[in-house]
Amino acid sequence: MRYLTAILFVGMATVAPGQTIVGTWQLTEEKPCLAQQMELTDTENELLPGFGPSGNAVARTIRFGPKGKGEEGIFEAGKKKGTDKTPFRYQLSGGELQFLDKKSGIVKERFVVDELTPVKLRFHRVGRDCGMRTFSKIK
């Protein structure tokens, strides 16, 4: 009976691996604190439809590597290479994502991971319920 129970637990561990943050994610939604706290006036509601999307499509991406390294960058439509790539180090401990200083390893920023699925990542800064960022997995 013990042997059967041990095989069952080992089988479950190999069949159902945990969610991983490793991969490339594209920012799909960002709600700054001010946008969540302020309501639009009548004038702003009238002017809002006039502010259409820009003619130049850009995508903000973030890549988390398997060894705690990653990079953040901006990609324009029609271009293969991104611009403004910023390398960083990170660690995911429990439900908290921590961005670390490259040299000293000291925690620079902390975020609470609200949702992590194979296709969606959502987090916000520790100590604030606003400032939500939502990412979709692209690779």
Q: For the segment 75-84, what is each residue's pLDDT rounded down to a tens digit? A: 877 677 777 7
The model carries a pTM of 0.68
- Better-scored residue on pLDDT, 5 or 74: 74
Statement: residue 31 has pLDDT above 90: no
Pairing of strands 132-137, 96-100: unpaired
Tell which CATH architecture fits domain 19-39+56-137: Beta Barrel (2.40)
Size of the chain, expressed as the number of residues it contains: 139
Q: Is the dihedral of CA 79, 84, 90, 96 positive or negative?
A: negative
For the chain, what are the domain ranges? 19-39+56-137
